[in-house]
Amino acid sequence: MQKVYLDNAATTQVRDEVIARMQEALAVHYGNPSSTHSFGRSAKTMVEQARKTIAKTLNAQASEIIFTSGGTEADNMILRCAVRDLGVKTIITSRIEHHAVLHTVEELEKEYGIEVGYVDLDEVGNPKLDHLEQLLQKDSSKKLVSLMHVNNEIGNVVDIEAVGKMCKANGALFHSDTVQSIGHYPWDVQSVQVDFMTAAAHKFHGPKGIGFAFIRKNSGLKPLIVGGAQERGFRAGTEPFHNIVGLEEAFVRAYEHLEEETKTVKELKKYFLEKVKEEIPGAVFNGLSGDMDKSTYTLANVRLPLDKQKGLMLLFHLDMKGIACSKGSACQSGSDKGSHVLTEILSDGELAKPSLRFSFSMYNTKEDLDYTIGVLKEFIQV
């Protein structure tokens, strides 16, 4: 049976070079980075080199990069500490953020009594910036805006430069969940007025369980996890050294090959869009994912011309044919609820039809896409 992996927005295949680097770290450089002997010093040196490498690529300072277990921890840490330490009384976000943001904000609302404002969305899921400005100017409370750069379900790309400028002009802090964009887009944190960003290595061909937060210098945030003095006192716990060097290797290779790999994946998505339109009449792309110029090049979200009952068997059928994709964020698997993102932008009639997210990487081929679309077409026609 042919095996096709088109769920790269959930996680990506780990590069061979990353695996080799991690194996070396586990076998040879196994000292605790906090130990003062040569084994520990060697590991510590490599941790700090990874931090410097990431910072240089982002045009940040090394002290602004904090290693975490991934994007969820980084989002939680930033939002919680901003309320606890910086006097944030109002968080402005949207209803189509990742649950790492939405559920954290909901908990902060209960625990601290903060105000929460949700930016209105247009018909395709973009936040309305005029409404954002209204929310920023609503009162004089200390505010933080949290809007993701690339939506993980429909692929819309928010103009975070414009959002950053608006936040700066109104004295608000700006946090962006950039898990779906770091490793896929060039970054310069000196030109984008963002205070906090988050990343996860497994979204750009690195290991799971490791990521980082960008926290702008002199932010005033204090540690969320306390204990030892790791991460310059900001995040206690022995550093997962093998994961950190795996993150560094994946990060370096992502940016070394960014132009060529972006071109490859863009061509795959363009081909996929064209073939779906040609082979599956009635299929509709949700959000802006069908627009090559206005959405990320890494995914497409397709609404298929099937009734609800038949649609219930679609993912199972694809899996049986060796095709991996998803009906939304992998973090929602096991839930019988539909996509909270699509619920915000589609009508009840549109939601009754099955929608699937197909996300691409450099490891995919046009043959993968032909096979997938053929299986979809056959299922729809039966």
What are the structural domains, with CATH classification, of the chain?
4-12+258-381 (3.90.1150.10), 16-256 (3.40.640.10)
Give the C-alpha separation, 12 to 294, whole Å.
23
Outline where the chain has alpha helix (H).
Answer: 16-27, 38-58, 71-86, 99-112, 129-136, 160-169, 241-256, 258-279, 308-311, 314-320, 340-345, 348-351, 366-381
- For residue 331, what pLDDT is reported? 54
Q: Which pLDDT belongs to residue 17?
A: 98
pLDDT at 138: 95
Q: Which portions of the chain are predicted below pLDDT 70? A: 328-336
Q: Which of 81, 167, 325, 331 is catalytic?
A: 331
- What pLDDT, on a 0 to 100 scale, did the predictor assign at position 336? 55
Q: What pLDDT is attached to residue 295? A: 98
Query: How far does CA 104 lie from the centroid of its chain?
Result: 16
Angstrom CA distances, 146 to 12, 66, 92, 194, 197, stand at: 25, 19, 6, 10, 10
Q: Which residue has the tokens 């984008």?
A: 192
Q: What is the pLDDT, as a whole number, of residue 327? A: 87
* Count of other CB atoms within 10 angstroms of residue 320: 11
pLDDT at position 280: 97
pTM score of the predicted model: 0.95
Number of residues assigned to the chain: 382
* Residue 365: per-residue pLDDT: 98
pLDDT of residue 161: 97
Active site residue 331: yes
Here the tokens at position 366 are 């046009």
How far, in Å, CA of 364 to CA of 358, rounded? Answer: 11
| Residue 355: Cβ within 10 Å count | 24
Residue 63 has a pLDDT of: 97
